[in-house]
Amino acid sequence: MYDVIVVGGGISGSMAAIASSRAGAKTLLIERYGFLGGMLTAAGVGPMMTFHVGQKQVIQGIPGELIDRLQAKGKSPGHVVDTIGYTYTVTPFDAEGLKYELESMLLESGGELLYHTHLVDVKVEEGRIQEILVLNRGGLQNLRAKVFIDATGNADLSTLAGVPCVKGRPEDGAMQPMTMNMKMTHVDIEAIRRYIKECPEEFPYLEGNTDIIDESSVLSVSGFAKTLEKGLETGELTFKIEGILFFETNNPGEVIVNTTRMYGYDPTDPWSFSKAEIEGRRQAMELEKFFRKRVKGFENAVLVYTGPEVGVRSSRQIQGEYVLTIEDITKSKKFADVIAHGGYPVDIHSPDGEEEVITETMHLSKNAMYSVPYHSLVNSHVTNIITVGRCISATFEAQGAIRVTPMAGAIGHAGGVAAALAAKQEGNVLRISIPTLQQILKEQGAYLEVE
């Protein structure tokens, strides 16, 4: 019998398990792959963005410590200026370094790890999860804990336990497009830097401020507008593309290309999800050919990795005790039960490929900091589950802001401490002391502005 079982070892689940274990709970993390990191390692997502609001680092605690450790080992340059100018800072990292560091932090905390293990079913009695059924090479097994954390990204555990969830836009349920990220090596970064200066019209997003690229040793690029237009005109590119977007990693000549777009698929429907994988791979092959032929700096580039799973931006959101709204984000609403802060803007990739999805009412003012309340992680149907990461209780629009890695990590950190606290009492996550939760979070290094 465990105090806390965390299902899913993405950034949120890893942070939750480390925090829970550090807070004194006997903790097990189960993960279906043989490594941690979720989207960041399985889907090649990066860089992390953003830990900052202006100059202030508002995401600290265990996620902050992770970056310090990566940086000390040369696996991340730390927080650097975003050369696209979209947000304050970005945090590149090496994916293999991340896998190792997350695993080390969890094991050092005393937490246990069970890899290659899928959640299959849940036994709920009187509003409490009694046990979960998992499948691995040892067959089917039951695992018991006082408190469970759902860190599956898609709210799989919450759904199986009967927690109500919603998907996508309220009007039609459409979700953000999926993306098969492509890791490409042998990219001539210096040639791209020169090209940005020589052809600023290719990079309208910078509005002529091409000097911003000198402010960081690591390049983030959104543009090649004319190159893209030509590719679409000639038929070399056959799918809707918002723009060519890529990010240099911590490794020389390596970039993450975030440019494929799979519209209209549902990641919670296995048949639809499989079709998205197939379409993603087709687009990736098409892009590799196009990049090598047409995109400056990619003449000798090689596509080396697309990962075991296509990237999912949004799917299910639990309907928790509190649903975080776009007004809470844009008006910087303060919550008595605040557990994390963020400054990343609302970033919604249109579900149907239309350009404008961010309306005036969704804009954040500069240096605006918003808050996430604990009651968006818990629900009134099942009393011993905490949901963390990108599938917490938030509207489609609010999720567009809080869905990114540093925030998912900070939410995971808080969920882990809360679960450990609940496990010490009667296991009811709705009855923990919020001031105690906030106090322990602060002791574990989290940045919190509590009223």
* Burial (CB count within 10 angstroms: exposed 0-12, middle 13-18, buried 19+), residue 34: exposed
Please list every residue from 360 through 389 that binds ligand FAD, using CB under 6 A: 389
Residue 103 binds ligand FAD (CB under 6 A): no
Residue 76 binds ligand FAD (CB under 6 A): no
Residue 267 binds ligand FAD (CB under 6 A): no
At its nearest, how many Å lie between ligand FAD and the CB of residue 448? 20
Nearer to ligand FAD, 285 or 450 (CB): 285
Q: Among 83, 371, 395, 405, which residue sits at the site for ligand FAD (rule: CB under 6 A)?
A: 405
Nearer to ligand FAD, 38 or 297 (CB): 38
- Which amino acid, 271? W
Closest to 382 in 3D by CA, of 315, 437, 320, 317: 320
Closest to 340 in 3D by CA, of 350, 352, 353, 328: 328
| Range in contact with ligand FAD (rule: CB under 6 A) among 232-240, 332-340, 364-372, 397-405 | 397-405
Closest to 412 in 3D by CA, of 380, 435, 382, 444: 444
At its nearest, how many Å lie between ligand FAD and the CB of residue 426? 27
Residue 32 binds ligand FAD (CB under 6 A): yes
Residue 163 binds ligand FAD (CB under 6 A): no
Closest to 325 in 3D by CA, of 369, 359, 376: 376
Question: What long-range pairs does 67-76 form, CB within 8 A, spacing at least 24?
Answer: 67/91, 67/93, 69/101, 69/105, 70/94, 70/97, 70/98, 70/101, 73/97, 73/101, 74/250, 75/101, 75/250, 76/250
Q: Among 390, 400, 423, 440, which residue sits at the site for ligand FAD (rule: CB under 6 A)?
A: 390
- Report whether 413 contacts 19 (CB < 8 A): yes
Q: How big is the site for ligand FAD, counted in residues (CB under 6 A)?
A: 39
Residue 261 binds ligand FAD (CB under 6 A): no
Nearer to ligand FAD, 79 or 439 (CB): 79
Q: Among 64, 153, 231, 427, which residue sits at the site for ligand FAD (rule: CB under 6 A)?
A: 153
Give the total residue count for the chain.
451
At its nearest, how many Å lie between ligand FAD and the CB of residue 255? 12
Torsion of CA 248, 50, 201, 227, to 10 degrees: 50
Closest to 128 in 3D by CA, of 339, 376, 430: 430
At its nearest, how many Å lie between ligand FAD and the CB of residue 435? 26
For residues 412 and 339, give the distance between their C-alpha atoms in angstroms, rounded to a whole number: 10
Reduced to 3 DSSP states, what percent helix, strand and coil does the chain have, rounded to the nearest 5?
Answer: 35, 20, 45
Q: Among 83, 152, 158, 371, which residue sits at the site for ligand FAD (rule: CB under 6 A)?
A: 152
Residue 119 binds ligand FAD (CB under 6 A): yes
| Range in contact with ligand FAD (rule: CB under 6 A) among 39-47, 60-68, 96-104, 273-281 | 39-47
For residues 79 and 85, give the distance between their C-alpha atoms in angstroms, rounded to a whole number: 14
Nearer to ligand FAD, 408 or 422 (CB): 408
Q: Among 23, 25, 40, 340, which residue sits at the site for ligand FAD (rule: CB under 6 A)?
A: 40
Nearer to ligand FAD, 46 or 97 (CB): 46
For residues 178 and 311, give the distance between their C-alpha atoms in angstroms, rounded to a whole number: 6
| Range in contact with ligand FAD (rule: CB under 6 A) among 1-9, 319-327, 333-341, 368-376 | 1-9
Please list every residue from 168 through 197 that binds ligand FAD, using CB under 6 A: 179, 181
- Neighbouring C-beta atoms of residue 109, cutoff 10 Å: 17
Residue 33 binds ligand FAD (CB under 6 A): yes
- Report whether 341 contacts 58 (CB < 8 A): yes
Residue 249 binds ligand FAD (CB under 6 A): no
For residues 225 and 8, give the distance between their C-alpha atoms in angstroms, rounded to a whole number: 38
Please list every residue from 290 through 329 that binds ligand FAD, using CB under 6 A: 311-313
How would you classify the pairing of strands 56-57 and 89-90? unpaired
The residue ranges that bind ligand FAD (CB under 6 A) are: 7-13, 30-33, 38-40, 42-43, 45-49, 118-119, 151-153, 156, 179, 181, 258, 311-313, 389-390, 403-405, 408
